[in-house]
Structure 1
Amino acid sequence: MVALQEVALLTAIALEPSEALWFLEAKQRPELLNLEEVQRALVFVFTFATAVEASPAARQEDRRRRRNKARRHERRFDDAHAKIRSYRAELTGDRTTVTFTLEDVPSPSEYNEWAGAISEELNGPWPGHRRFLIHEDGELVITEIEGDFATAMTRIEVALAGAESAVLARRATVASERAEEQQAEDDFRARVIAATPPVLLSWLRIGMIGDAHGPRQYAVQVQIDREAVRSYSDDMRQMFEEAGAPAYVARGGWVVSSMDPEEIPEFVVKFVPGVDAIIAKRNNAEAEREQQLRPVLEELTRRGYPRDVD
Structure 2
Amino acid sequence: MTDPSLSSTGITRSETVPAPRYQPEAPENAPTNPKGGWGRFAFICVPYLWLLLFFLVPFVIVAKISLSEAAVSIPPYLPVIDWSRGLAGLWEAAERWSLDNYIWLTEDALYWQAYVSSLQIAFLSTLLTLLVGFPIAYGMARAPRSWHPTLVMMVILPFWTSFLIRVYAWIGILKSDGLLNQTLITIGIIDEPLVILNTSIAVYIGIIYSYLPFMVLPLYSSLEKLDTTLIEAAEDLGCPPWKTFWRVTVPLALPGMIAGCFLVFIPAVGEFVIPDLLGGSSTLMIGKTLWVEFFSNRDWPVASAVAIVLLVLLIIPITLFQRHETRRNEGDV
TM-score tier after normalising by the smaller chain length: under 0.3
Q: Which has the higher helix share?
A: 2
Structure with greater contact order relative to length (CA < 8 Å, sep ≥ 6): 2
How high is the TM-score relative to the length of structure 1? 0.22
Using the size of structure 2 for normalisation, the TM-score is: 0.21
More strand by share: 1
